């Protein structure tokens, strides 16, 4: 796992074991309690000043324009369209990432060959790229002067610049999501029990049956945790969509536009709350379903 510690995402996996208090210090004496409070104080002050307080302010802001502002994302057709776009994109990227990531992870975990570690490092390298670079990559691939439209033209076809539409966004999101899932699935598939699979095979099960009856259930917890992280990251991704200046508008871009172009702070706040709640909810549910392993520290990243 060369490229592993390098990344935010696998960092998130490192967050999995949650901090458990030890029972030996149950009856804390008062000076001891004071000491722990003093240890916590600096972090608490900075967190309260630069996150809790501003966030509370943000949450209150739409109320000044009337309570209906909170529901703008549902009541205005434009914002609802933007939300639908974002959900559609995030769900399809998550599905594709999970399937493709699992395939690559299974292959890498059980096919020994020279340079496997190097290949894994290479495949997880994009974890340290800012989202804007990923957007630029897709412009190089499918923009007006991109590689693929150029190849299509050389072959006598029509150069089709796909970078600035839904396909471009999809490929870019896939690019920054895949490394996470590849790292996760390679680790999970490596720990997979081979006996069940051998048994199924000796009973004459086809490859498809083995995939459906052995791999899918065995990798289900990984899929749930990884899928939630990928989904949350895709929902909040801003840099990539910003670079592509896509015709397919996603919610982070809408929020940015409301804030910068129209100085409509209350609406920007309302849309941010909707996006934040939705993302948090998905992570929360995934954590519940996977039985308490921590996926809360999940979304965001450098994207």
Partner 1 sequence: MTIALTATAHRPSPILLAVTIAVTLFTIVPMVLSVTAGLINNYSVGIRSGFTTRWVVEVWSAYGDTVWRSLLLAACCVAGTLLLGVPAAYALARSRSRWLRLFEELLTLPVAVPGLATALALILVYGQLRGFRGSFAFILAGHLVFTLPFMVRTVGAAFARPELTALEEAARSLGANFRQRFLGILVPAVLPSIAAGSLMVFTLSVGEFNLTWMLHTPLTRTLPVGLADSYASMRLEVGSAYTLLFFAVVLPVLWFLQWIVQILERRHGT
Site for partner 1 in 211-240 (CB under 8 A): 232, 235-239
Q: Which one of 72-80, 162-170, 216-224, 266-274 is the stretch in contact with partner 1 (CB under 8 A)?
A: 266-274
Which of 42, 77, 156, 292 touches partner 1 (CB under 8 A)?
Answer: 42
Q: Does 107 bind partner 1 (CB under 8 A)?
A: yes
Q: How far is the CB of 143 from partner 1 (least distance, A)?
A: 8
Residue 240: exposed, middle, or buried by beta-carbon count in 10 A (0-12, 13-18, 19+)? buried
Q: Which of 87, 166, 280, 289 binds partner 1 (CB under 8 A)?
A: 280
Q: State in angstroms the smallest separation of the CB of 291 from partner 1.
A: 17
Residues 109-128 that bind partner 1 (CB under 8 A): 110-111, 119, 122-123, 125-126, 128
Among 88, 91, 242, 264, binds partner 1 (CB under 8 A): 242
> Which of these segments, 56-64, 72-80, 159-167, 218-226, binds partner 1 (CB under 8 A)?
56-64
| Residue 15 near partner 1 by CB under 8 A | yes
Q: Which residue among 29, 195, 202, 261 contacts partner 1 (CB under 8 A)?
A: 202
Give the binding range for partner 1 (CB under 8 A) out of 20-28, 69-77, 151-159, 161-169. 20-28
Distance CA 42, CA 44 (A): 5
């Amino acid at each position: 796992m060369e490229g592993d510690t390098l990344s935010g995402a696998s960092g998130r996996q490192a967050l999995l074991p949650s901090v458990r208090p030890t029972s030996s210090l149950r009856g804390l004496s008062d000076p001891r309690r004071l000491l722990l409070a003093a240890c916590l104080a600096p972090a608490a002050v900075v967190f309260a000043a630069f996150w809790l307080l501003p966030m509370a302010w943000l949450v209150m802001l739409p109320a000044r324009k009337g309570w209906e502002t909170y529901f703008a994302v549902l009541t205005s057709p434009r914002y609802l369209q933007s939300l639908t776009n974002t959900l559609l994109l995030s769900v399809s990227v998550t599905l594709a990432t999970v399937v493709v990531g699992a395939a690559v992870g299974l292959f890498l975990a059980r096919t020994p060959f020279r340079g496997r570690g190097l290949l894994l490092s290479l495949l997880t390298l994009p974890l340290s790229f800012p989202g804007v670079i990923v957007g630029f990559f897709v412009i190089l691939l499918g923009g007006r002067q991109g590689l693929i439209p150029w190849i299509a033209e050389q072959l006598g076809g029509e150069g089709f610049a796909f970078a600035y539409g839904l396909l471009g966004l999809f490929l870019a999101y896939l690019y920054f999501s895949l490394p996470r899932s590849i790292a996760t699935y390679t680790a999970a598939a490596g720990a997979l029990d081979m006996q069940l699979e051998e048994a199924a095979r000796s009973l004459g099960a086809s490859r498809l049956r083995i995939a459906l009856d052995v791999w899918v259930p065995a990798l289900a917890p990984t899929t749930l945790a990884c899928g939630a992280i990928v989904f949350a990251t895709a929902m909040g991704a801003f840099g990539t969509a910003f670079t592509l200046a896509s015709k397919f508008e996603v919610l982070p871009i809408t929020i940015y536009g409301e804030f910068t172009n129209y100085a409509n702070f209350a609406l920007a706040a309302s849309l941010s709350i909707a996006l934040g709640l939705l993302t948090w909810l998905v992570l929360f549910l995934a954590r519940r379903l996977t039985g308490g392993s921590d996926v809360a520290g999940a979304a965001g990243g450098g994207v």
